[in-house]
Chain A
Amino acid sequence: MEKKNKIFSGGGTSVLIVEDDEFLRKVISHKLASEGFKVFEAIDAQIALQLIKKERPHLILLDLILPGIDGFGFLEMIKKDPNLGDIPVIVLSNLGQKEDQDRAMAAGAVDYLIKANFTPAEIVQKVRDAVRKNYL
């Protein structure tokens, strides 16, 4: 199972992390890379948009509180775009109120993870689950 996932992700599964906290971004990026994912990093929505258009990642890990356009705005923006709307988005935020979760899921997120409640290994597993569900 683990081997199969590695082959699958090593086959070029790419993840874009949109996260303004540098340390968190580096940690999760390191974990994903060590699990065989190709990782792109963006510190805000603007950079994220450029990267999406250029690299077309398989999945986006999205923080909600961001400088400039926030995660909700970014999510709504790409879900409205017919070329980008089908990229699965997992929200990874420390906002966790029901309204936030409902709003993100309504805007088209496939999962909602509160950072403090998940370990990097669990986050990677959620990413794998979402990729598998969306592409296989």
Chain B
Amino acid sequence: MERSEISQKREKELQEMDRVAKMLIRRDFVLNETREKREKELEVLQKRTKELEELREALTNMLEDVEEARRKIAAEENKTRAVFISLTDGLIVFDEDKKVTLVNPRAEEILGLKERQLQGRKIKENPQFPVLSKFSQLIDRPAKWTGQKYDLNLKEPTGQFFEVTVTSVIQGKEIIGLMAILHDVSREKQIARTKTEFISIAAHQLRTPLSATKWILKMLLDGDFGPLTSKQSEFATKGYEINERMIDLVNDLLDVARIEEGKFGIEFTQQNFNEFLRETVDSFQQQADMKKIELKCNIPDVPLIAQFDSLKLQMAIANLIKNAIDYTPVRGRVRITSSIEGNAVKVAIKDTGVGIPQQQQKRIFSKFFRGDNAIRMQTEGTGLGLYLARNIVESHGGKIWFESKEGEGTAFYFTIPIKKL
């Protein structure tokens, strides 16, 4: 009994101990769990903090980049402005409402005003600058500006000429304004004037003595001053011919000058090309006969109505036929044919002449050029004939070319588009 009591008591104590132990273990476990959770949370927090810090750094960097970019743009703007300011041409920039946004110093100088007097205003709102009225008329036209050029004589008495180029200022695909560039062409104008004066001097001063020689030799030959002996006549004829060549040279030079001035106007009239060509060829019959050259013509006997400048084209064809006869040895052949090729008439002038040396073929159409063998064969000749011929054919919208072999012959070809009225 006693023993069992003790044992019972012990058992209870043990049970109690077990309960407490279990409780302690559980609490420990819970505590552990909580701590772990805390630690995890802390870790997340630290990570977030780090991320935020990185973000802040990135943002700072970005801000710095933006600042740098802004500085660069400003510097670029200054540079662009410096370019505008330093331009030796006058420059005026307008916004889309044609209000002035920039006038560079050269433009200020040309127009005799200051940028601030115009800035933000339309040019026609400035009646106090009469110099601008012409400019205003020019720019206020409703046009699509794509770099058109205009002559502007801004200072009439001083004779200063400007070439004004007006062009749109385009950003992406949008037109955001207009700019006008004023380029001083006074010097060019002066040179052009001098050249025209030179032509006039050449014409008058060279032609006058040539006319005197021509007239007097012709009158001698015509017997106006009494009959000549055959020897006198022979020499006077030679002198007359030489003088005629000088006159031709002056005429050719004047034509070349006209071409270079851009004033060699072509006057189109509607005519029968085949008939015109036959007449031109026929006028060389005598010259061909003198060298016993067979001048053959293969031109269709049908009217071919085309538009051309007969005076100028006659000059071009005559140069080609004359060359063919001049540079073909005695008893040779010169053949002229015409045919239709597409929308053009194609003319061929073929000879059995000395040909053009291979290494000189590239230069054959240049001014004053004459082939070595051509010079040996005939000392006279201006070297302008083919230059003129090419210009005349090209100003008709045609093409000119040749095939040649030294010692065998040359064939010149040209086309003239058939334009109908």
Contact = CB atoms under 8 A, between A and B. Distances in A.
Interface residues of B, number: 23
A39 to B, nearest CB: 15
DSSP class of A's interface residues: helix, strand, loop or mixed? helix
Interface residues of A, number: 21
A24 B224 contact: no
A95 B204 contact: yes
Interface stretch (A7-15, A45-53, A72-80, A109-117): A109-117
**What DSSP secondary structure best describes chain B's contact surface?**
helix
A31 B224 CA distance: 8
A121 B254 CA distance: 25
Given A31-B224, A34-B224, A115 B211 contact: yes
A97 B199 contact: yes
Tell which of B214, B247, B263 has the most Cβ of chain A within 10 Å: B214
27 contacts: A24-B208, A24-B211, A27-B215, A28-B215, A30-B219, A30-B224, A31-B224, A34-B224, A65-B204, A94-B203, A94-B204, A94-B207, A94-B208, A94-B211, A95-B204, A96-B203, A96-B207, A97-B254, A97-B258, A97-B263, A116-B214, A116-B250, A117-B251, A119-B218, A120-B215, A120-B218, A120-B224
Given A24-B215, A114-B207, 15 more contacts: A21-B208, A23-B212, A24-B208, A24-B212, A31-B219, A34-B224, A65-B204, A94-B207, A98-B263, A115-B208, A116-B207, A116-B247, A119-B214, A119-B218, A120-B219
B210 A116 contact: yes
A114 B211 CA distance: 9
Nearest to B213: A116
Closest 9 interchain pairs by CB? A94-B207, A115-B211, A116-B207, A119-B218, A116-B211, A116-B247, A27-B215, A94-B204, A120-B215
Contacts of A27: 212, 215-216, 219
Contacts of B265: 98
